[in-house]
Structure 1
Amino acid sequence: MLFGDEPPAKIAFGTTAVNRPTFPTDIAHDCFGNGQTPLRGVPNVGPGSYNNEEKTTFRYVLDQQPMSRRGYTFNARTEMRKTFEVKNNNPSPDTYQMDLTRIPEKKRAFKPFNEISERFKARARSADVPGPGSYECDVKQNRQIHMLHSFGGRAKLIPAIKTKCMALNTDKCAVCQQAAIGDYYQYRNEVLCSKCFNFNWQWQEKYKRTYLQAFQKVRDCSSIHDHAGTSAKIQLSDDKLTTKLQRKEAYLSLYWA
């Protein structure tokens, strides 16, 4: 460096020539500064710069505090303290009680100790309350839905009505020779509609009840799939709704056939 030349400015790494930014007022040039905004307002105001005489949390206002004329305070305040005004608009204790004037007076008994009153209440009629013999004592208790269990696997629901997936429903009743519509009954290759099944279950005209017990309730998949006359199927309803319907039918089948 030659004589008379000025020294170079020390501006490297933010030293004496450049003001260093501080976080409360300036934004830091990093990830922390991007996420945190700087403080707003006047940052150089200390705790002694607030106007405590104007805004305070003390019970009495400063200009209404009892002061001392002897030069010291606390237990020597000679000034008169401020008295609070008495409020007379509060409700009386009687307003919270029940108005007993509206309750009618009880009639006086004609005989002492109210001897003519009924000792026991009138018995309920048999039409209103059923008798002990009106209940079915032989009803099966603790009914549970039939589930298919496997070792180490999840339990699978056994549906009360079996769904037959077929492109075209060609099943016909073996008695009336009409197309099976809706829910019907099937045992092997023999099909019975609901009307003929209920008739034979009651009167046993063609089939005995022991043979009808082998029939299972089935239905076609027209409400779930759309085959359009082919082996392919188009989903019409959600699987969750189908599972919910199967659970409901399995539960109701425990009480109604």
Structure 2
Amino acid sequence: MLFGDEPPSKIAFGTTAVNRPTFPTDIAHDCFGNHQTPLRGIPQLGPGAYNNEEKTNFRYVLEQQPMSRRGYTFNARTEKRKTFEPKSDVPSPDKYQMDLTRVPTAKRAFKPFNEVSERFKARAKSADTPGPGSYECDVKQNRQIHMLHSFGGRTKLIPAVKTKCMALNTDKCAVCELATTGDYYQYRNEVLCSKCFNFNWQWQEKYKRTHLQAFQKVRDCSSIHNHAGTSAKIQLADDKSTKKLQRKEAYLSLYWA
């Protein structure tokens, strides 16, 4: 140490001659002290300063329970137990029983063992409710609409009724030789109207069912196109409604022919 320099302070890191701030009486000068405020009140208050007889039921428990006179252990039950006074303002057991004097007596049956009474109660049956034999038990389950699939491509719906786009419908039924109206059936160059197809399917007069299975239901494009006698066409219905109708017909064709 050079001459004239002041001696170093004896206080190093607050070790001597400094009152250290302690928690919880003082506030720490950091983030913890900002969020966690110290305790308020009297910090020197000991456990014996609290009024336990006012805040707890410890004294009540000691007075009610029998205590020990020999001092073996805490709350040893060597003292006589406290007896409870009997209560006489309660109803007697017979007050809870049902009064059987007012129960009406059973009427005597007209015949022994009530043989006249109906065994099963009659239920009203609706005429609109089908009977158990009206349901088809051998119905094909998990029916799916027929679609055309391709590897990596989109699926395409197979319509239940094929639409023929032609300027003028000249098809005639091969049986009744009348012009077809609405939906009809066609296989190659053979055309049958719906009436003749259903008649031959039932009676097999001219065509057998094995041959009629090859026919497909078709219709002309008069509902969606207007050709006006030419090859050009004027669209009458949009594509969205047409596809919606095709999906509906394909679904209903799974249940009805």
The TM-score with structure 1 as length reference comes to 0.52
Shift of 1:126: 7.3
Corresponding residue for 1:184? 184
More helix by share: 2
Corresponding residue for 1:253? 253
1:109 and 1:199, CA in 2 relative to 1: closer, same or farther beyond 3 A? farther
Shift of 1:133: 3.9
> Using the alignment, how far apart are the partners of 1:130 and 1:242 within structure 2?
36
Q: Counterpart of 1:222 in 2: which secondary structure?
A: helix
Corresponding residue for 1:230? 230
Shift of 1:228: 1.0
1:249 and 1:110, CA in 2 relative to 1: closer, same or farther beyond 3 A? farther
Corresponding residue for 2:204? 204
* Deviation readout 1:119-165 (Å, 9 max, x if unpaired): 98626477766554443211111111111111111111100000000
1:205 and 1:109, CA in 2 relative to 1: closer, same or farther beyond 3 A? farther
1:173 and 1:111, CA in 2 relative to 1: closer, same or farther beyond 3 A? same
Corresponding residue for 2:35? none
**Does residue 168 of the first structure (1) align with residue 168 of the second (2)?**
yes
1:138 and 1:232, CA in 2 relative to 1: closer, same or farther beyond 3 A? same
> Using the alignment, how far apart are the partners of 1:110 and 1:248 within structure 2?
68
> Using the alignment, how far apart are the partners of 1:237 and 1:195 within structure 2?
28
Shift of 1:236: 0.4
* Deviation readout 1:89-128 (Å, 9 max, x if unpaired): xxxxxxxxxxxxxxxxxxx76539xx98x99862647776
> Using the alignment, how far apart are the partners of 2:118 and 2:205 within structure 1?
61
The amino acid that maps onto 1:111 is A
* Deviation readout 1:55-109 (Å, 9 max, x if unpaired): xxxxxxxxxxxxxxxxxxxxxxxxxxxxxxxxxxxxxxxxxxxxxxxxxxxxx76
Unpaired runs of at least 5, structure 1 = 1-107
> Using the alignment, how far apart are the partners of 2:164 and 2:119 within structure 1?
64
1:199 and 1:110, CA in 2 relative to 1: closer, same or farther beyond 3 A? farther
The TM-score with structure 2 as length reference comes to 0.52
Corresponding residue for 2:194? 194
The amino acid that maps onto 1:208 is K
> Using the alignment, how far apart are the partners of 1:122 and 1:150 within structure 2?
62
Matching of residues 2-41 of structure 1 within 5 Å: none
Unpaired runs of at least 5, structure 2 = 1-102, 108-112
Corresponding residue for 1:111? 106
The amino acid that maps onto 1:166 is M
Query: CA RMSD of the aligned region, Å?
Result: 2.6
* Deviation readout 1:166-187 (Å, 9 max, x if unpaired): 1111100001111111100000
Q: Counterpart of 2:218 in 1: which secondary structure?
A: strand
* Deviation readout 1:230-254 (Å, 9 max, x if unpaired): 1111110011000011111111111
Corresponding residue for 1:154? 154
* Deviation readout 1:33-53 (Å, 9 max, x if unpaired): xxxxxxxxxxxxxxxxxxxxx
Q: Counterpart of 2:223 in 1: which secondary structure?
A: coil
Query: Alignment length, in residue pairs?
Result: 147
> Using the alignment, how far apart are the partners of 2:189 and 2:247 within structure 1?
27
1:181 and 1:127, CA in 2 relative to 1: closer, same or farther beyond 3 A? same
**Does residue 122 of the first structure (1) align with residue 117 of the second (2)?**
no
1:130 and 1:233, CA in 2 relative to 1: closer, same or farther beyond 3 A? closer
The amino acid that maps onto 1:244 is K
> Using the alignment, how far apart are the partners of 1:136 and 1:125 within structure 2?
25
Identity %: 80
